[in-house]
């Protein structure tokens, strides 16, 4: 039986749905590993990986098996009772990441909000900041999610506009600027919240040594360093956590996205004993946070990431991909950057909007997403092979040298 035309799905979405996204004109119905298929049976190499939520590849069979098994046994108990998956999830993720305490949530934004609440509480109860005065430092061009608390400290106009009034208590400094961090810290500063690499801003990598300096400043001033690794974490940059490239340890680490391999929303706040230790019964929670289905899925997602060598593969294939992108001779390209399989090509403004190159890539059999007008991000699942990277590079070169005249 043939499926309804693509335009039919798209027009219905547009009629009934809030139009808060501008998707490419492709309707997907199946995925496996690095590939997805549309309703017409066309195959694409997925170079977005749902913003790095499917690092383990689409429909990974072991995560699927864990999900199906758990779904038939027990899905939700709420935290009013214990369940037999939560303790194992805590233990395994704490051991893998070297953390002392874990707070399970669902979306990435919830993990960020939970971290903000926790460090404020820590500030008042441990650091001794006067009540209501806690300050958190964040970076310009950050992306930490879409809730009200978070968009209030965004510097992107579209993200903030007409959503106010916003919560106070945030200071914005330039990313990658140590002197600015030093100047912004006051006795009331409880935390510095930052992405190791700014993903949504267009894969912006800070200067070498920046995070070593950040770690020193935070330690010297008793400021909690919160690394939002929701996108950079879990192998994306070729290490389990991006902080490992810098040889530092955050006080609070945020994970989400690939924590479930794309099956289910699972996020977590990881911290030392101090920060999450301030939360007492009744002070924070989530109906679905820490549910047995989420825990079983996350445990499998973490296991395959490590056991199947995906982190090492991301490092190897990332280098190959980056080298290949750099060798593309096209006057449309202004800059190529990346770490591991978190890559981006920034186009010359004269080349026009990145979106049309994404449309051209779609025709070539690659799905990629533009970010910020002139940048195309490439972030395939971490199970990509050398042959697939080489195939992608040929297609990308073709799309970038295409004449739109």
Chain positions contacting ligand PLP, by CB under 6 A: 51, 107-109, 112, 143-145, 195, 199, 228, 230-231, 256-257
- HSE toward the beta carbon, residue 107, CA cutoff 13 A: 8
How many other CB atoms are there within 10 angstroms of residue 356's CB atom?
15
Shortest separation between residue 154's beta carbon and ligand PLP, angstroms: 11
Concatenate the DSSP letters of all residues of 374-399 into one string: TEEEE---TT--HHHHHHHHHHHHHH
* Catalytic positions: 143, 228, 257
**In this complex, which beta carbon is closest to ligand PLP, that of residue 77 or of residue 141?**
141
Q: Which residue is nearest to ligand PLP (CB)?
A: 108
Shortest separation between residue 194's beta carbon and ligand PLP, angstroms: 10
- Which of 280-287's residues contact partners 24+ apart within 8 Å by CB, and which partners? 283/121, 284/103, 284/114, 284/117, 284/118, 285/79, 286/79, 286/104, 286/105, 286/106, 286/110, 287/76, 287/78
Shortest separation between residue 207's beta carbon and ligand PLP, angstroms: 19
Burial readout 146-168 (b: 16 or more C-beta within 10 A, e: otherwise)? eeebbbbbbeeeebeeeeeeeee
Shortest separation between residue 84's beta carbon and ligand PLP, angstroms: 26
Shortest separation between residue 198's beta carbon and ligand PLP, angstroms: 8
Longest Cα–Cα distance of the chain, Å, equals: 67
CA-wise closest residue to 58 among 36, 32, 39, 38: 32
**In this complex, which beta carbon is closest to ligand PLP, that of residue 77 or of residue 159?**
159
**In this complex, which beta carbon is closest to ligand PLP, that of residue 102 or of residue 115?**
115
**In this complex, which beta carbon is closest to ligand PLP, that of residue 244 or of residue 402?**
244
**In this complex, which beta carbon is closest to ligand PLP, that of residue 201 or of residue 361?**
201
How many other CB atoms are there within 10 angstroms of residue 374's CB atom?
22
């Amino acid at each position: 039986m043939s499926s309804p035309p693509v335009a039919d799905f798209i027009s219905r979405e547009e009629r009934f749905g809030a139009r808060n996204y501008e998707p490419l004109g492709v309707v997907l119905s199946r995925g496996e590993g690095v590939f997805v298929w549309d309703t017409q049976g066309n195959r694409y190499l997925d170079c977005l990986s749902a913003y790095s939520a499917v690092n383990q590849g689409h429909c990974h069979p072991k995560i699927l098996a864990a999900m199906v098994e758990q779904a038939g046994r027990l899905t939700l108990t709420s935290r009013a009772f214990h369940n037999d998956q939560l303790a194992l999830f805590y233990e395994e993720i704490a051991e893998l990441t070297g953390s002392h305490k874990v707070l399970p949530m669902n979306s990435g934004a919830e993990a960020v909000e939970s971290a903000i609440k926790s460090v404020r509480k820590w500030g008042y109860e441990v650091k001794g900041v006067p009540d209501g005065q806690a300050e958190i430092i964040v970076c310009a061009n950050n992306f930490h999610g879409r809730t009200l608390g978070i968009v209030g400290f965004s510097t992107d106009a579209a993200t903030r506009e007409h959503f106010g009034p916003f919560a106070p208590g945030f200071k914005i400094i330039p990313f990658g600027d140590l002197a600015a961090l030093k100047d912004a810290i006051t006795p009331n500063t409880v935390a510095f919240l930052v992405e190791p690499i700014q993903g949504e801003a267009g894969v912006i990598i800070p200067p070498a040594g920046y995070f070593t300096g950040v770690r020193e400043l935070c330690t010297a001033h008793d400021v909690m360093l919160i690394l939002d690794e929701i996108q950079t974490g879990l192998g994306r940059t070729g290490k389990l956590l991006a902080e490992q490239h810098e040889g530092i340890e955050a006080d609070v680490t945020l994970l989400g996205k690939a924590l479930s391999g794309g099956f289910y929303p699972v996020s977590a706040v990881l911290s030392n004993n101090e920060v999450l230790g301030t939360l007492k019964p009744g002070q924070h929670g989530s109906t679905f946070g820490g549910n047995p289905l989420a825990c079983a899925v996350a445990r499998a997602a973490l296991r395959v990431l490590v056991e199947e060598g995906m982190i090492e593969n991301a490092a190897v294939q990332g280098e190959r991909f980056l080298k290949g992108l750099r060798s593309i001779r096209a006057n449309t390209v202004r800059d190529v950057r990346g770490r591991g399989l978190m890559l981006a090509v920034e186009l010359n403004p004269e080349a026009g909007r990145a979106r049309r190159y994404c449309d051209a890539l779609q025709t070539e059999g690659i799905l990629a997403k533009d970010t910020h007008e002139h940048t195309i991000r490439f972030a395939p699942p971490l199970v990509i092979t050398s042959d697939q990277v080489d195939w992608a590079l040929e297609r990308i070169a073709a799309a970038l040298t295409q004449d739109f005249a």
